[in-house]
């Protein structure tokens, strides 16, 4: 039986093997091997389509941290099926395309590892039922996106773009995490399905609204919604296959997924409706408006993607109104907005993926994607041109392409919502069709720009570095397949509607009974309705405006470049860099003694303060064992050693005295019958002494430090306070009874862990997790020392 | 600075093996008697450190041709790997188990997954300590 967990894990496993295979089979492009992963998963998922279409869902649970309610639970239903198919389907095509796009000279092993990481993470996002697991995968998509944007990391633009994308999406992700925790506080569960089924009792909860806003922040940043859209154009520094895959077809739709997934949770709420719809609408308009002025084809597509994401987002917002009204024959009409959202999302992935690949072909073949240098490519690149026309016209919303169908449904949804009589839509609802229409005009214009400026008009071979030529067949396969889908979906939309979209509708509207009622029959012709008139209007006005583009283009000059969100972002970034620089330089003096003073001071205030506050200090020594003579002698030795260290004249003396202290402690451990500790202490003492001796040669001569009387006093007070505090804690611990003691549990170590040595049973078994992380930390520290020393000796190149 | 360390070197040659054996003993016996992965690893590392202190680095490098960074990485991999290993058996992450077996020579012996985990700890400790000491003493020469 196919397990959904397996689908998520598989890309990660393969990713681990990619570097080895790459090294072994240099002569084959590693992409061919990697491509098998999405293809396999696509086939496995596609085989489940009939079962999912009949309402079946698949879940699979692996108990991860059950005590914290964190389990690796996956859930495959209609909604996640759409995304799963998109991720694997588009993924296969993109990898096929990338095989011809990226030459074997690039560091392919990195590229495909990142890509597989992304694929696994993205599948994890859409299949996870547990919010914590979802969050982890969510951030992993940001990380892999960061790596992929910065793939050509010798370019400054790539690095900055990657940083921007990372900062914006991750801060949104953290907000979302807080939202998830609030949801858990309210409902007591991290499982999305359980939250959905129990949320109705919590809509008046004080945390309901904050949780909603925070979750939306996560979705909006990820899906590049206004005003967080600024990262997406900069992310176009990534190789084009990555832009086609992450930044148009899948990752940016994670936010859409999240909103769709949480519609049953927050959907009935007015704030949700207005926020999602309005943010979507603004994004739709702003994206398409800005796309028109772009001269870089990829930037044009980036803004277009922003705009289309806004469209889908606003549709999800509009569709949520049905949950407020509740299920009735009247409210079903509003669910069509959601249906249109899902439909358009699939369509967008097909046509935008194809368009990105077209731009990639142009860029790859001609060395530029600046429309001012392009033109007249039609005759020489017929296949590319065909795909471009199909994609653009679909994007513009013209028949006979799938974009027409979903665009019409979008118009219909905005018209219907303006007639609804909830949320004061009677008054304000009219805004929706107007904004939608205006934005669509700009969409039409930039689609025309894309076709005409690139492929028609006079060719300008003198401005190009390379002769114009058609792309190799391999690069054309993927865009042609996507273009075939663009046309195919137009002619058989209901196949998609019945098998793919309907089950997703029942995931979004779980309380609405049979999803059959929620699935409208999609048809290209349904009489002269407002939506058709709107489309005709868009074409007419758009064509006129395109003709006179030169006349009104100066409008864009009116927007001052001083007050953009990009400037804001840059200022915030440089200010926080400066600020943290000032703060860090303020306390990072480079003197070890200062750091120790911080640590001790903090310890005294926090630990001492807490113990004092909770009244835990106790000087009662009546229950202690009697102090014996050799203990007194040992303490005396230690005291003398410690005092002598203050007056030591050389490092060697100080180190040896320190050793005396350490070994004396070891003897204490022996006296108190703690052989493990004694052994460890002895060996640690020996190894550190050896380390000290090695380090000596690096250190300057030990000079008498000139410290002021004031600092001496402060240091003296801190050290004495520290010593006294530790002593007091030592005395108090024996009488501390605020918490129950757990030592009895460890006494059963022999039965529980099969080990008679309790210390080791704790280290290896009971608290094995701690030990594991400690080992990792030790390793990182070791690497840190290694790299610091190596880097330093490399920098001081004159030494060699 | 040249010091006459013939005695130290001669003793080291013998004593290193005693320390190494002791380290392995500590590692293996840690389950039921004092010892364990961390301490065993430290003892092994201290033996190697002693070798480095008494002989020149080059000759030691020839006789111990390991990249200690890799040793440490292998250790970390083992330690985390045992954690993930338990997942394959359908039990939560980092579950350890043990059983008793009849082995030739040893008789009734307890075998436990903790030992694999501890082996990871040993390798990590040895690898990290030696890496640090080596890189410090190498940069000295440069």
The tally of domains found in chain B comes to 1
In a domain, A472, yes or no: yes
A window 731-770, beta carbon within 8 A of B? 753-757, 759-761, 763-765, 768-769
| Same domain assignment for residues A543 and A685 | no
Residue A799: band (very low, low, confident or very high) from pLDDT cuts 50, 70, 90:
very low
The answer to whether B73 contacts A755, with C-beta atoms less than 8 Å apart, is: no
pLDDT of residue A689: 81
Higher pLDDT, B58 or B116: B116
For residues A61-65, give the mean pLDDT.
Answer: 80
Q: Does the residue B62 lie in any domain?
A: yes
> Which range, of A411-425, A440-454, A713-727, averages the lowest pLDDT?
A411-425
Query: Tokens standing for A514?
Result: 């049979």
Q: Which domain holds residue A420?
A: 150-568
Phi, psi of A420 (to 5 degrees): -70, 155
| Average pLDDT of the segment spanning A727-747 | 77
Mean pLDDT across the stretch A79-85? Answer: 92
Residue A757 falls inside a structural domain: yes
Q: State both tokens at A74.
A: 């996956």
* Residue B128 contacts A where some CB pair is shorter than 8 Å: yes
A605 and A675 share one domain:
yes
Q: How much is the pLDDT for B1?
A: 45
In Å, how far is A694's CA from the nearest CA of chain B? 6
- Check pLDDT > 90 for residue A143: yes
Q: Which among B34, B121, B136 has CB closest to A775? A: B121
Interface of B with A in 97-126 (CB under 8 A): 98, 110, 112, 114, 117-118, 120-121, 124-125
**Residue A160 placed within a domain:** yes
- For A700, A791, B142, the CA distances from A797, given in Å and listed in that order, are 21, 10, 10
Q: What is the number of alpha carbons within 13 Å of residue A459 lying toward its C-beta?
A: 14
Which tens digits make up the pLDDT trace of A302-344? 999 999 999 999 999 998 888 888 887 777 888 889 999 999 9
Taking 70 as the threshold, does the pLDDT of residue B4 lie above it?
no
Domain boundary among A687, A721, A737: A737
Give the three-state DSSP class for A529: coil
End position of a domain, from candidates A683, A711, A737: A737
Candidates A638, A689, A626; CA nearest to A665 is A638
Look at B96 and A768 and tell me if their CB atoms are within 8 Å: yes
Do A668 and A766 reside in the same domain of the chain?
no
Q: Is residue B93 part of a domain?
A: yes
pLDDT surpasses 70 at B3: no
Q: Left if phi > 0, otherwise alpha if psi is -120 to 50, otherwise beta: which for A137?
A: alpha
Mutate to test the interface with A, among B115, B136, B138 (most CBs of A within 10 A): B136
Query: What residues contact residue A48 under an 8 Å CB cut-off, 6+ apart?
Result: A2, A58, A76, A81
Three-state secondary-structure class, residue B100: strand
Task: Give the model confidence (pLDDT) of A516-556 as tens digits.
Answer: 777 788 877 777 788 888 889 999 999 998 888 888 888 78
Among residues A328, A347, A320, which one has the least CA distance to residue A508?
Answer: A320
Q: Which two tokens stand for residue A507?
A: 């995931």
B59-89 pLDDT, tens digit each: 777 777 788 888 888 988 888 888 777 777 7
What number is the ipTM of this complex?
Answer: 0.88
Q: Encode pLDDT of A224-281 as tens digits.
A: 998 899 999 988 888 999 999 988 888 999 999 999 999 999 988 889 999 999 999 9
**3-class SS at A376?**
coil
Q: Which residue of B has its CA nearest to A679?
A: B39
**pLDDT tens column, A477-506:** 999 999 999 999 999 888 888 888 888 888
- For chain A, the domain total comes to 3
Query: Is A5 part of any domain?
Result: no
Q: Answer yes or no: do A606 and A530 share one domain.
A: no
Does residue A442 lie within any of the structural domains? Answer: yes
Provide the pLDDT for residue A173: 94
Beta bridge pairs of residue A61: A73
Q: Quote the percentage of chain A above a pLDDT of 70.
A: 98
Q: Chain B residue closest to A788 (CA)?
A: B135
Distance (Å) of CA B55 to CA A695, B47, B128, B133: 18, 12, 20, 14
- B117 lies in some domain: yes
Shared-domain flag, residues A546 and A675 = no
d(CA A531, CA A282): 20
- With contacts defined as CB-CB under 8 Å, which chain A residues touch B128? 778-779, 781-782
Q: Specify the range with the lowest mean pLDDT, choosing from A307-321, A574-588, A597-611, A686-700.
A: A686-700
Residue A793 confidence (pLDDT): 59
Query: Where is average pLDDT lowest: A330-339, A578-587, A592-601, A698-707?
Result: A698-707
Closest alpha carbon within chain B to A784: B132
Q: What average pLDDT does the segment A721-735 reach? A: 86
Q: Is the pLDDT of residue A617 over 80?
A: no
Calculate the CA B124 to chain-centre distance: 7
Name the residue in chain A with its Cα closest to that of B44. A683
Distance between CA atoms of residues A431 and A366, nearest Å = 43
Q: Give a yes or no: residue B1 inside a domain.
A: no
Same domain, A472 and A533: yes
Residues A538 and A650 in one domain: no
B28, B34, B40, B54, best to mutate vs chain A, most A CBs in 10 Å: B34
Specify the long-range contacts of residues A62-71, CB closer than 8 Å, at least 24 apart. Answer: A62/A5, A62/B87, A63/B92, A64/A133, A64/B92, A64/B93, A65/B92, A65/B93, A66/B92, A68/A132, A69/A130, A69/A184, A69/A189, A69/A190, A70/A130, A70/A132, A70/A133, A70/A190, A71/A130, A71/A133
Chain A residues touching B135 at Cβ < 8 A: 785-786, 789-790
Regarding whether A351 and A497 lie in a shared domain, the answer is yes
User: Are A695 and A783 contained in the same domain?
Assistant: no
Would you state the pLDDT for residue A798?
Answer: 44
User: How distant is the Cα of B119 from the closest Cα of chain A, in angstroms?
Assistant: 11
What average pLDDT does this structure show over A362-376? 85
Q: pLDDT at residue A442 above 90?
A: yes
Residues sharing a CB contact under 8 Å with residue A308, sequence separation 6 or more, in sequence order: A284, A287, A344, A348, A352, A395
The Cα–Cα gap between B74 and B124 comes to 7
Distance of CA A497 to the CA centre of its chain: 30
CA pair distance A475, A96, nearest whole angstrom: 8
Q: Are A299 and A305 in contact (CB under 8 A)?
A: no
Q: CA A253 to CA A248: how far, in whole Å?
A: 8
Is B132 in Cβ contact with A695 (below 8 Å)? no
Residue of chain B nearest A764, judged by CA positions: B114
List, for residues A563-583, the tens digit of each pLDDT value: 788 888 888 999 999 999 999
- Cβ contact, residue pair A779, B124, below 8 Å: yes
Cβ–Cβ gap B34/A676 under 8 Å: yes
Nearest CA to A78 among A373, A512, A642, A515?
Answer: A515
Give which of A216, A218, A217, A183 is closest to A202, Cα–Cα: A183
Give the tokens for residue A642. 């410690």
Do A422 and A532 fall within a single domain? Answer: yes
* Domain span holding position B40: 6-141
CA distance B11 to chain A (A): 17
Judge whether residue A100 has pLDDT over 70: yes
If contacts are CB pairs under 8 Å, which of residues 37-66 in chain B contact chain A? Answer: 37-39, 42-43, 45-46, 49, 53
Task: Tell me what the mean pLDDT of segment A685-711 comes to.
Answer: 77
pLDDT at B142 over 70: no
Q: How far is B103 from chain A (nearest CA, A)?
A: 18
Region B23-44: what's the mean pLDDT? 83
* B37 within some domain: yes
The partner residue sitting opposite A793, judged by closest CB among B87, B125, B142, is: B142
Picking from A697, A713, A737, the residue at the C-terminal end of a domain is: A737
Is A24 within the bounds of a domain? no
Write down the pLDDT at residue A437. Answer: 92
> Which pLDDT score is estimated for B26?
86
Over residues A638-653, mean pLDDT:
87
User: pLDDT (tens digit, 9 = 90+) per residue, A117-134?
Assistant: 999 999 999 999 999 999
Q: Which residue has the higher pLDDT, B110 or A666?
A: A666
Q: Which tokens go with B29?
A: 């016996």
Amino acid A794: pLDDT: 60
Helix (H) or strand (E) holding A295: none
Report whether pLDDT(A440) > 60: yes
Q: Are residues A347 and A269 in the same domain?
A: yes
What confidence score (pLDDT) does residue A85 get?
93
User: Which class for A356: exposed (0-12), middle (13-18), buried (19 or more C-beta within 10 A)?
Assistant: buried
Q: Are strands A58-65 and B98-103 parallel, antiparallel or unpaired?
A: unpaired
The reply to whether A114 falls in a domain is no
Chain B environment of A790 (Cβ under 8 Å):
135, 139
> B3 exposed, middle or buried (CB, 10 Å; 0-12, 13-18, 19+)?
exposed
User: What's the distance, Cα to Cα, between the start and end of chain B in Å?
Assistant: 17
Query: Does A432 lie in the same domain as A495?
Result: yes
Indicate yes or no: CB of B53 within 8 angstroms of CB of A690: yes
- Let me know: does A633 contact A668? Beta carbons within 8 Å: no
CA distance B97 to B100: 11
Give the C-alpha separation, A50 to A78, whole Å.
11
The pLDDT of residue A467 is 79
CA–CA gap between residue A465 and residue A467 (Å, rounded): 7
């Amino acid at each position: 039986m196919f397990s959904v967990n397996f689908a998520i894990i598989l890309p990660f496993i393969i990713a681990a093997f990619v570097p080895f295979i790459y090294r072994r089979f240099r002569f084959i492009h590693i992409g061919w091997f990697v491509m098998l992963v999405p293809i396999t998963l696509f086939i496995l998922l596609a085989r489940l389509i009939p079962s999912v279409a009949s309402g079946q869902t698949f879940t699979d649970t692996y108990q991860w941290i059950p005590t914290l309610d964190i389990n690796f639970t996956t859930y495959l239903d209609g909604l996640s099926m759409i995304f799963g198919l998109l991720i694997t389907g588009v993924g296969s095509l993109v990898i096929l395309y990338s095989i011809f796009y990226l030459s074997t000279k690039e560091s392919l092993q990195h590229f495909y590892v990142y890509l597989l990481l992304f694929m696994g993470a993205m599948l994890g996002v859409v299949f996870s039922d547990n919010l914590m697991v979802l969050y982890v995968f969510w951030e992993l998509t940001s990380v892999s996106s960061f790596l992929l944007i910065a793939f050509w990391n010798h370019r400054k633009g790539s690095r900055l773009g990657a940083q921007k994308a990372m900062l914006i999406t991750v801060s949104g992700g953290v907000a979302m995490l807080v939202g998830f925790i609030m949801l858990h506080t309210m409902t007591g569960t991290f499982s999305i399905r359980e939250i959905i089924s129990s949320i109705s009792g919590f809509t008046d909860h004080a945390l309901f609204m904050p949780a909603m806003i925070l979750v939306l922040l996560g979705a909006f940043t990820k899906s590049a919604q206004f005003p967080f859209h600024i990262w997406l154009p900069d992310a176009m520094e990534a190789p084009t296959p990555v832009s086609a895959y992450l930044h148009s077809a899948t990752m940016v739709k994670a936010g859409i997924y999240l909103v769709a997934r949480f519609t049953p949770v927050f959907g009935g709420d007015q704030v949700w409706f207005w926020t999602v719809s309005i943010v979507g609408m603004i994004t739709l308009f702003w994206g398409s408006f800005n796309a028109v002025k772009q001269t870089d084809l990829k930037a044009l597509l980036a803004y277009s993607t922003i705009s289309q994401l806004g469209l889908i987002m606003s549709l999800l917002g509009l569709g949520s109104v049905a949950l407020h009204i509740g299920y009735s024959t009247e409210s079903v009409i509003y669910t069509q907005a959601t249906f249109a959202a899902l439909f358009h999302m699939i369509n967008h992935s097909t046509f935008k993926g194809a368009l990105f690949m077209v731009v990639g072909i142009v860029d790859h073949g001609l060395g530029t994607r600046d429309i001012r240098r392009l033109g007249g490519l039609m005759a020489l690149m017929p296949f590319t041109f065909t795909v471009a026309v199909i994609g653009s016209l679909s994007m513009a919303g013209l028949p006979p392409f799938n974009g027409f169908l979903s665009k019409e449904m979008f118009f219909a949804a905005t018209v219907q919502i303006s007639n609804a009589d909830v949320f004061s839509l009677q008054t304000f609802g009219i805004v929706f069709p107007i904004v939608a229409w205006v934005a669509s005009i700009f969409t039409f214009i930039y689609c025309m720009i894309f076709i005409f400026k690139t492929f028609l008009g006079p060719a300008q071979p003198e401005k190009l570095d390379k002769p114009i030529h058609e792309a190799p067949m391999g690069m054309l396969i993927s865009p042609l397949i996507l273009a075939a889908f663009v046309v195919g979906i137009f002619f058989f939309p209901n196949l998609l509607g019945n098998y793919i979209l309907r089950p997703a509708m029942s995931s979004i509207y779980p309380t609405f009974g049979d999803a059959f009622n929620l699935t409208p029959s999609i048809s290209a012709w349904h009489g002269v309705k407002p939506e058709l008139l709107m489309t005709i209007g868009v074409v007419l006005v758009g064509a006129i405006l395109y003709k006179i583009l030169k006349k009104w283009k100066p409008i864009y000059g009116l927007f001052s470049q001083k007050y953009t969100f990009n400037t804001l972002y840059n200022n915030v970034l440089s200010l926080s860099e400066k600020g943290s620089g000032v703060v860090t330089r303020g306390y990072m003096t480079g003197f070890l003694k200062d750091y120790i003073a911080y640590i001790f001071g903090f310890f005294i205030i926090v630990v001492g303060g807490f113990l004092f506050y909770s009244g835990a200090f106790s000087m009662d020594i009546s229950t202690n064992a009697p102090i014996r003579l050799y203990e007194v002698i040992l303490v005396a030795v230690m005291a003398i050693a410690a005092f002598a260290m203050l007056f030591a004249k050389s490092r060697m003396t100080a180190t040896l005295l320190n050793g005396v202290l350490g070994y004396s402690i070891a003897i204490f451990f022996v006296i108190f019958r703690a052989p493990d500790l004694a052994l460890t202490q002895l060996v640690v003492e020996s190894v550190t002494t050896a380390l000290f001796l090695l380090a000596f040669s690096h250190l300057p001569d030990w000079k008498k430090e000139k410290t002021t009387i004031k600092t001496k006093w402060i240091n003296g007070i801190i050290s004495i306070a520290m010593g006294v505090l530790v002593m007091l804690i030592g005395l108090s611990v024996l009488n501390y009874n605020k918490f129950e003691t757990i030592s009895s549990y460890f006494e059963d170590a022999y039965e529980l862990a099969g080990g008679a040595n309790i210390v080791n049973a704790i280290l290896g078994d009971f608290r094995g997790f701690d030990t594991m992380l400690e080992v990792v930390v030790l390793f990182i520290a070791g690497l840190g020392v290694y790299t610091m020393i190596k880097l330093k000796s490399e920098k001081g190149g004159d030494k060699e | 600075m040249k010091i006459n360390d013939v005695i130290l070197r001669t003793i080291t040659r013998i004593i290193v093996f005693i320390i190494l054996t002791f380290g392995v003993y500590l590692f293996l016996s840690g389950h039921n008697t004092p010892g364990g992965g961390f301490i065993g690893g430290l003892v092994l590392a201290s033996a190697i450190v002693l070798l480095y202190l008494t002989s020149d680095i080059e000759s030691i490098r020839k006789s111990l041709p390991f990249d200690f960074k890799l040793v440490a990485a292998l250790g970390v991999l083992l330690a985390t790997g045992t954690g993930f290993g338990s997942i394959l058996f359908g039990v939560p992450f980092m579950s350890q188990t043990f059983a008793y077996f009849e082995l030739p020579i040893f008789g009734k012996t307890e075998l436990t997954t903790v030992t694999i985990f501890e082996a990871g700890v040993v390798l990590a400790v040895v690898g990290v300590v030696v890496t640090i000491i080596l890189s410090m003493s190498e940069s000295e020469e440069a």
